[in-house]
Structure 1
Amino acid sequence: MNHHVAIVTDSTASIPTDVAEQLRICVIQLELKIGEREDDERRVPHEELAQAMREGTPVETSPPPPPAFFWNYHDAAASGAESIISVHISDGLSQTCASARSAAEEVNLPVFVVDSRLCGLGMGFPVIAAAEAAAAGASTQGVLGVLDKRLRSTTQMIYVDTLEYLRRSGRVGRAQAFFGQALSIKPVLVLREGVLEPLVKGLGPERALKKAVQQAVARAGDGPVDVGIEHFQYAERAQEVAGQLRNQLPQVRRIVVAETSAIIGAHAGPGALGLTVSPAT
């Protein structure tokens, strides 16, 4: 495979490990702090994180420091890359892109830092498409074109059992409009232009998720589509939603059901579920 264009992303993309290895996607870890313990998010068990959040233990997230990007960019250059495309979680949710830009100024080859304006598999599917284009020998501009098209066509929705955890982390955005609702009203949010906004709501999780599935089907179109269902301690419901989408979408090309990035879980809270539809044409 041709890898003159190196692809870098971060751990919030939720790309399966085997896929990242096969396509040589470099994944840089965000950092998570629970109480006094700080570590890469991949080393933090989700059960431990969820329990800490329920108990009110302080939880903080932070972007990778610039040196983490610099050394990965340096390794890509040493491996023969002629350019690097570095795709990261929305600037509206994290300072990861800022760290990447700082590191990019210190390397001697072109580095294109892209704010995905998304997170999770909403970012992960476009990154995979870009890596596939790079492996097929596309030019830097060709890969950027593939990436931009997929990012623009992808829809990412997030169901949360409560907005409280988003409020604590300061990521509530325009979803503030849902505060003050009865506890039985469950919100579904959408990432639009990198910011969480209210989309639909339902009386209880079943009705809220039914509306989210309806939105996903409407936005997927009639062509081939990649579908992602990510959850934080909500595996049974994630499988139910996956089954509904398999039945309702005419051309599911790839479907990924997985526990979400611990970083996303730390903001969305236990019982959260993310739903991504990414048209593949």
Structure 2
Amino acid sequence: MSGRAVVVTDSTASLPPEVARARGIVVVPLQVVIGASVYDEGPQGATPEMVAEALKGFRPVSTSRPAPAHLAGVYATIAAQGASEILSVHLSAEMSGTYESALLAARESPVPVTVVDSRQVGIATGYCALSAVDVLDAGGDVAAAAQAARRRAELATTLFYVDTLEYLRRGGRIGAAAAILGGALSVKPLLRIDEGRVVNLDRVRTSARALSRMEDLVVETAGSRAVDLCVSHLANPDRAGALAGRLAERLAANLDGRDVWCGELGAVLGAHVGPGMVAVCLAPLLGGAPSAQE
């Protein structure tokens, strides 16, 4: 990384580890607190399975941002390895204090740090980081890479179904969707990320209808654009896999041979949505930019 800019993101960006490594993206973990134990998010710490099991067992689960001092240490290490600048891309500041931690850490960095609030969550933030790397790899500067990250975030659509709003309510992440609490807890909520917050999109009577509605909305939103697509879930692999398969067929022309990513949601986001959640992120490609999988 000597002499060049480096992209940093956080673990909620849900990038496959091999993709982050291949693209030179540094991933900083958020933390999950289960009972009295604190874990870094990741395969060697808090896993989606641990979170799902704890939630099902009614054990207390919470999450926390990286401390500014920790991020400052990451920036210092990257600088010591020869980086000339850092672009730090993180999940919505409306949902987490990670962006604030990054701003505070940037003040202590020995090299310039540009911090981007993606105003997204999950793989949508990951796609922002990938678009930033695309620009840097093509010879662009950090300002252009940050602009690409923000533009990719604006284009992305994140929809998700949850079995219940209870976990979002507990974590205080429900935002404008609070308007459908109460009686709505007996229906199946379909939600989306809008301006960095969770908002209500629709209410249906069954999970099958919710997933069907989400599928149709994703296809409608894609239109004729070239896209990257990811289906995520927490403890709901069969339904997520089936949805990914149907979307791969219906959006074959949009994907142009690119795979639909499908996997379990990370532990931090999983703690706020609960078991059974299924999400779809549709991220149109930027003009002339490589896809996430190239």
Question: Shorter-chain TM-score: which interval?
Answer: over 0.9
Structure-1 residue corresponding to 2:21:
21
Structure-2 residue corresponding to 1:271:
276
Whether 2:148 is the aligned partner of 1:129: answer no
CA distance in 1, matches of 2:40, 2:246: 34
**Is the 8 Å Cα contact of residues 23 and 135 (structure 1) preserved in structure 2?**
no
**Is the 8 Å Cα contact of residues 8 and 84 (structure 1) preserved in structure 2?**
yes
Structure-2 residue corresponding to 1:142:
144
Quick one: which of 208, 228, 231 aligns to 1:229? Answer: 231
Structure-1 residue corresponding to 2:260:
255
CA distance in 2, matches of 1:148, 1:227: 18
Q: Give, in angstroms, the shift of residue 22 of structure 1.
A: 0.6
**Is the 8 Å Cα contact of residues 165 and 185 (structure 2) preserved in structure 1?**
no
Structure-1 residue corresponding to 2:167:
165
- Tell me which moved more, 233-242 or 216-225: 216-225
What number of residue pairs does the alignment pair up? 281
Structure-1 residue corresponding to 2:52:
50
**Is the 8 Å Cα contact of residues 12 and 119 (structure 1) preserved in structure 2?**
yes
**Is the 8 Å Cα contact of residues 91 and 120 (structure 2) preserved in structure 1?**
yes
CA distance in 1, matches of 2:70, 2:218: 35
Code of the residue aligned with 2:14 in structure 1: it is S
Code of the residue aligned with 1:149 in structure 2: it is R
Structure 1 pair 148–3 and aligned structure 2 pair: CA distance change class (3 A): farther
Structure-2 residue corresponding to 1:199:
201
Code of the residue aligned with 2:150 in structure 1: it is D
**Is the 8 Å Cα contact of residues 116 and 150 (structure 2) preserved in structure 1?**
no
Q: Give, in angstroms, the shift of residue 209 of structure 1.
A: 1.0
CA distance in 2, matches of 1:190, 1:228: 15
Unaligned runs of 5+ in 2: 287-294
| Matching of residues 75-224 of structure 1 within 5 Å | 75-181=77-183, 185-224=187-226
Structure-2 residue corresponding to 1:40:
40
**Is the 8 Å Cα contact of residues 4 and 137 (structure 1) preserved in structure 2?**
no
Offset from partner CA, 1:205-253 (integer Å, 9 cap, x none)? 1101111111111222312100011111111111111112112112113
CA distance in 2, matches of 1:19, 1:2: 20
**Is the 8 Å Cα contact of residues 32 and 38 (structure 2) preserved in structure 1?**
yes
Q: Give, in angstroms, the shift of residue 67 of structure 1.
A: 2.0
CA distance in 2, matches of 1:69, 1:141: 21
Q: Give, in angstroms, the shift of residue 135 of structure 1.
A: 2.3
Q: Provide the aligned C-alpha RMSD in A.
A: 1.6
Code of the residue aligned with 1:127 in structure 2: it is A
Offset from partner CA, 1:116-157 (integer Å, 9 cap, x none)? 111111111121121122223221122122212211100111
Whether 2:240 is the aligned partner of 1:238: answer yes
- Tell me which moved more, 7-16 or 251-260: 251-260
SS of the aligned residue for 1:251 comes to: helix
Code of the residue aligned with 1:271 in structure 2: it is G
CA distance in 2, matches of 1:183, 1:140: 45
TM-score scaled by length of structure 2: 0.91
Q: Give, in angstroms, the shift of residue 89 of structure 1.
A: 1.0
TM-score scaled by length of structure 1: 0.95
CA distance in 2, matches of 1:66, 1:49: 25
Offset from partner CA, 1:161-215 (integer Å, 9 cap, x none)? 1000111111111111222335552111111011100012222111011111111
CA distance in 1, matches of 2:103, 2:202: 35
**Is the 8 Å Cα contact of residues 91 and 115 (structure 1) preserved in structure 2?**
yes
